[in-house]
Structure 1
Amino acid sequence: MTAKLPAAIELLRFTDRQHCAEAVAAHVAAALALDIADHGSASLAVSGGSTPAPMFKTLSRLDLGWDKVAVTLADERWVSPDHADSNQAKVQQLLLQNDAAAANYIPLWNNHSDGAADAAALAQTEQALQQLPEKLSCVILGMGNDGHTASLFPCSSELASLWDAESAAAWCQPTTAPHQRITLTPQRLFASKERILHLNGLDKLETLMKALAGTDVSEMPIRAFLNQPITVFWAP
């Protein structure tokens, strides 16, 4: 399966998922270490789902001065951390362990207004995100087969307003997936020195090629990120 890649995209293919995960972890660790060396601190936004799990485990064991690293999520289901669908729970269980336990974790979810997804809760998340630098060291994205990334869903009525949103985070309610979502906005995700797209499976490669074949970001939001520099790590 081939397609002409835009100059800004680097596609790295691996024969198996573990080697791919290890390569992503090494790449991210190098980016964080560079910012720590240059600026004394680094920052990382990660995605949930099953794909990053082995990468999280590998990254958590890499010694790079984690006490100088701030970690947040690219998006989150608006459920408490003890919920089975919480991205925060997976990050805490898999990434914020071993050496990475020293990192400063900045959650998107909060229990303001008793956990309701309202303006006050969003404002509290925005305030928490102010701890991050103007430009994140690295953002790790995933992609659904509908072309969504973070919680930028093509089925969401909020999507059109998110492209020009000046806030760091926003609500997004998909109709094809459960739970109210909170997501870093495209502007906040693009305010990063490096972006990575981590994919597993032939279906994801097919989705990537479909996304590259078109231009409508409302149909497949991942297209917005494929128009900018990004490194894609893929394994079957």
Structure 2
Amino acid sequence: MNATVRRHDFADRLTLADKLAHEVAEKLREAIAARGHATLAVSGGGTPKVFFAVLARSVLDWSKVTVTLVDERWVGEDNERSNARMVRDLLLKQNAEQATFVPLYENAPTPDDALDNVNARIDKLPQPFDVVLLGMGPDGHTASFFPGGDHLAQALALDGTRSVLSMRAEGAGEPRITLSLPRILASHALYLHIEGDDKKQVLDDAIARDYPIASVLKQTRTPLDVYWSP
């Protein structure tokens, strides 16, 4: 691994969620104190659900926090597979209900039809992000960087200039929209949240097997903190 990678292992998922929420909340407080606002980009899937519920109770000035997504399935928020729906249901509650949410999805037939609008929306957010939270699938994808993705090379190009790209891949299900790797790496704090022995093995094998997550492990721009529990 070429990036500065710090591993944090926990005995169980609740302890991990508590520790990660405490760390992220502190980063957001520091950003607000330093710059008057904070930006947080989060991932979907099943892994962060407990973490979202814990973070939502954190005491900070959420009215000064903007939340967006690392990637999204191209489905409306009435669909149970919508990452935006999960963020609204689990994170933007309790103390965090005062945060501003900037979704990646909009009502258009395909992500390509909305790409310019979404790019403009993300580019208006303060750069760099204060906190970015990544997940990882059993195939080694992170964000919507799926193996075999139609725009994978463009998304991983460190000299790329677009903030978001569309992605279609056999393992992705619906068409996706995703932040590019350069936009993800433009962050003050970068975390990877994974759970289970199977994903720990995928991470350990990532560079040798050239999984998409390896692009995050090999880069030298931004240190990465990995939070794992069985």
Which range, TM-score by smaller chain?
over 0.9
Cα RMSD, aligned residues only: 1.4
Query: What does residue range 176-187 of structure 1 map to in structure 2 within 5 Å?
Result: 176-187=171-182
Instruction: Name the residue aligned to 2:201.
Output: 206
Instruction: Name the residue aligned to 1:224.
Output: 215
Q: What stretches of structure 1 move > 6 A for 4+ residues in a row?
A: none
Contact 2:74 2:177 in 1 (8 A): yes
Question: Which amino acid letter does the alignment assign opposite residue 166 of structure 1?
Answer: T
Quote the Cα distance in structure 1 between the aligned partners of 2:54 and 2:98.
15
Quote the Cα distance in structure 1 between the aligned partners of 2:45 and 2:34.
32
1:41 to 26, 29, 37: 37
Q: TM-score, normalised by structure 2?
A: 0.94
Quote the Cα distance in structure 2 between the aligned partners of 1:90 and 1:39.
28
Question: Which amino acid letter does the alignment assign opposite residue 104 of structure 2?
Answer: L
Give CA deviations for 1:99-145 in whole Å, capped at 9, x if unaligned: 1110010000001xxx2115441111112213311200010000112
Quote the Cα distance in structure 1 between the aligned partners of 2:16 and 2:205.
22
Structure 2 unpaired stretches of 5+: none
Query: What does residue range 1-236 of structure 1 map to in structure 2 within 5 Å?
Result: 8-111=4-107, 115-164=108-157, 165-212=160-207, 214=208, 219-227=210-218, 228=220, 229-236=223-230
Quote the Cα distance in structure 2 between the aligned partners of 1:7 and 1:94.
31
Residues paired across the two proteins, number: 225
**Percent identical residues:** 40
Aligned to 1:176, the other structure's residue is in SS state: helix
Contact 2:74 2:111 in 1 (8 A): no
Question: Which amino acid letter does the alignment assign opposite residue 144 of structure 2?
Answer: S
Structure 1 unpaired stretches of 5+: none
Quote the Cα distance in structure 1 between the aligned partners of 2:54 and 2:47.
13
Aligned to 2:44, the other structure's residue is in SS state: coil
